[in-house]
C-alpha cells in the first residue's frame, strides 16, 4: 500500500532557457483520487500536527494504524473489537520497528473511546469487516453512529474525523445512509462536513465522510 508520504518525491532539474539558468522543482505527483485509501491518507496527513494525539477506531490489519504511527503525531490509540485484529496490528507495527510506546492498542468497542482518551486531533474509521475474516463482525449502523458521536465529542478544534464507508454490502449501505443523515444535520456553526464519492467508478468503491470541527 502506498501512502502520500511515500509519493512526495522531489526531483531537481536545471533548465537552460534564453541563456539563463532556471531552477525548477519537478514534483512527482501521486494521484490521490485513484484510491480512496490514498485520498483518506492525504486528508488525514493534512490535519496531523507534530505532537498531536490521533485515533484509528478500526485498526483491522493495522495499515491505517501504521500510517498514523509513522506520522509526526505523538501518540496513536488504535481500537478493534477482534483480538485477532489487535494481534495483526501489533505484528505489523513491530515489523516496521514502531516504538511500542507510540501506539496504545485497545481491544474494545470504539463507542467506548472516551473512556481511554479525552481529546484527539484526527480520528479515523475504516468501516466494514476485515477482509478474509468473519463478515458478521462488521461495523453496524447504530453502534457506528454512537461511535462517531463519541469521536466528535473529543475531536479538537481544527481536527478531522475521517470515515471510510463501504456500501457494497447490505449493512454497509444502511450504515452509510445513517451516517449521511446524521452528518448533514450536524450544526453548521461547529462542523464542516464533506462527502467524497468516486462517482464514475464501478463496483461500489469506498466513499469518505470527512468532518472537521470549527470550535
Query: Which residue in 32, 42, 81, 193 binds ligand SAM (CB under 6 A)?
Result: 81
For residue 137, the minimal CB distance to ligand SAM (Å) is 5
Residue 56: which H helix or E strand, with range?
A: strand 53-56
Q: What does the DSSP 8-state code read for residue 186?
A: S
Of 110 and 121, which CB lies nearer to ligand SAM in the complex structure?
110
Query: Which residue in 35, 45, 143, 146 binds ligand SAM (CB under 6 A)?
Result: 143
For residue 15, the minimal CB distance to ligand SAM (Å) is 42
175 in contact with ligand SAM (CB under 6 A): no
Query: Which residue in 130, 148, 209, 211 binds ligand SAM (CB under 6 A)?
Result: 130
Q: Residues in contact with ligand SAM, total (CB under 6 A)?
A: 21
Q: Which of residues 33-72 bind ligand SAM (CB under 6 A)?
A: 58-64
- Return the number of other C-beta atoms located less than 10 Å from residue 167's C-beta: 19
Q: What does the DSSP 8-state code read for residue 108?
A: S
Instruction: Return the ∠ at Cα 186 (arms to 185 and 191), rounded to 5°.
Output: 145
Q: Which residues, including other chains, have CB under 8 Å from residue 74's CB and lie 6 or more apart? A: 50, 51, 52, 53, 102
For residue 106, the minimal CB distance to ligand SAM (Å) is 9
Give the Cα separation of 180 and 177 in Å (integer). Answer: 5
Q: Of the candidates 81, 110, 76, which has an alpha carbon nearest to the alpha carbon of residue 93?
A: 76
Question: What residues make contact with ligand SAM under the rule CB under 6 A?
Answer: 58-64, 79-82, 85, 109-110, 126, 128-130, 137, 139, 143
Amino acid at each position: 500500500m502506498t501512502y502520500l508520504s511515500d509519493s512526495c518525491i522531489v526531483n531537481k532539474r536545471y533548465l537552460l532557457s534564453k541563456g539563463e539558468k532556471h531552477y525548477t522543482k519537478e514534483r512527482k505527483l501521486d494521484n490521490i483520487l485513484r484510491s480512496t485509501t490514498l485520498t483518506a491518507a492525504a486528508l488525514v496527513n493534512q490535519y496531523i500536527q507534530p505532537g498531536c494525539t490521533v485515533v484509528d477506531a478500526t485498526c483491522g490489519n493495522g495499515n491505517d494504524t501504521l500510517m498514523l504511527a509513522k506520522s509526526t503525531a505523538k501518540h496513536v490509540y488504535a481500537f478493534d473489537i477482534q483480538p485477532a485484529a489487535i494481534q495483526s496490528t501489533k505484528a505489523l507495527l513491530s515489523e516496521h520497528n514502531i516504538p511500542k510506546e507510540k501506539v496504545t492498542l485497545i481491544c474494545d468497542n470504539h463507542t467506548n473511546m472516551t473512556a481511554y482518551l479525552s481529546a484527539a486531533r484526527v480520528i479515523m474509521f475504516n468501516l466494514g469487516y476485515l477482509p478474509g475474516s468473519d463478515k458478521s463482525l462488521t461495523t453496524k449502523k447504530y453502534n457506528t453512529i454512537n461511535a462517531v458521536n463519541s469521536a466528535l465529542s473529543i475531536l479538537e478544534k481544527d481536527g478531522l474525523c475521517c470515515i471510510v464507508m463501504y456500501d457494497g454490502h447490505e449493512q454497509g449501505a444502511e450504515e452509510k445512509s445513517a451516517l449521511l443523515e446524521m452528518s448533514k444535520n450536524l450544526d453548521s456553526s461547529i462542523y464542516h462536513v464533506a462527502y467524497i464519492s468516486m462517482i464514475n467508478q464501478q463496483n461500489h468503491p469506498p466513499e469518505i465522510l470527512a468532518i472537521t470541527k470549527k470550535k
